[in-house]
Each structure stands twice: as C-alpha cells, then as structure tokens.
C-alpha cells in the first residue's frame, strides 16, 4: 500500500504545482515550479519501483538492490532543478526592475 501513498503524494504535488504555476505573480510561479520538480523527481524515482531496506551499494552478500538508473537520473535532475529555480527567480527580479511590476506578463496594474 506504500505505492498508493507515494502515488497520492505525487498527484497532490502535481496539482499544487500546476495551480501555483498558473498564478499571475512571479513568486507563486517559482514556488509552483519547485513543487512540480519535486513531483517529477519522485515520479522518475518511482519508475524504478519502490524498495525498502535494500542495499544501495554493491555488497557481496546481497542479491536484491534498488534500481540505480532512475536514482542517477534524479540526482542530476535535483541539481538542475535548483539551477532552473534560481534562474527563474532572478528573471522575476529583473522583470520587476525593468517593468515595475510583479505580474508574470509585466502588467503594471497589479
């Protein structure tokens, strides 16, 4: 039943992320992106199936391991997501400086 819990978490993260990404101000959009990247990372990770208490490194006595490939993919994805979040938020700062508005479309009457 652990799978159901994780699937539910992914679903909620996606829904919250999408809702925030669709807001009109910059900061919620960046928060939404962060939530969406959590969701994506968890989703990718879950593609390797869930495993509890199995070794993560090669051991002579072990036969079952966690799937290392999604883990490697997700590891870099986490770092890249940080780079993207940083870029987005700085873009928001720049946009506010240039347009005088915190609105994602640069509308002044916000």
Shortest CB 5 distance to other proteins, Å: 4
Does the footprint of other proteins cover residue 74 (CB under 8 A)?
yes
Query: What is the rounded distance in angstroms from the CA atom of residue 27 to the CA atom of residue 57?
Result: 40
Q: What is the signed CA dihedral for 23, 25, 30, 34, rounded to 10 degrees?
A: -30
Shortest CB 2 distance to other proteins, Å: 4
HEC assignment per residue over 74-109: HHHHHHHHHHHHHHHHHHHHHHHHHHCCCECCCCCC
Query: What is the rounded distance in angstroms from the CA atom of residue 27 to the CA atom of residue 55?
Result: 40
Does the footprint of other proteins cover residue 108 (CB under 8 A)?
no
Does the footprint of other proteins cover residue 4 (CB under 8 A)?
yes
The token pair at 18 is 């999408």
Shortest CB 92 distance to other proteins, Å: 7
* Residues between 28 and 47 with contacts to other proteins, criterion CB under 8 A: 28-31, 34-35, 38-39, 41-43, 45-47
Does the footprint of other proteins cover residue 59 (CB under 8 A)?
yes
* Residues between 86 and 105 with contacts to other proteins, criterion CB under 8 A: 86-87, 89-94, 96-98, 102-105
């Amino acid at each position: 039943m652990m799978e159901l819990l994780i699937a539910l978490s992914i679903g909620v993260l996606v829904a919250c992320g999408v809702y925030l990404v669709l807001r009109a101000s910059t900061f919620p959009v960046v928060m939404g992106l962060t939530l969406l990247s959590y969701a994506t990372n968890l989703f990718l990770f879950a593609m390797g199936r869930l495993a509890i208490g199995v070794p993560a490194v090669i051991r002579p006595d072990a036969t079952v391991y966690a799937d290392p490939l999604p883990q490697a993919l997700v590891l870099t994805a986490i770092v890249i997501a940080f780079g993207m979040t940083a870029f987005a938020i700085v873009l928001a700062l720049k946009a506010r400086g240039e347009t005088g508005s915190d609105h994602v479309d640069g509308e002044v009457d916000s």
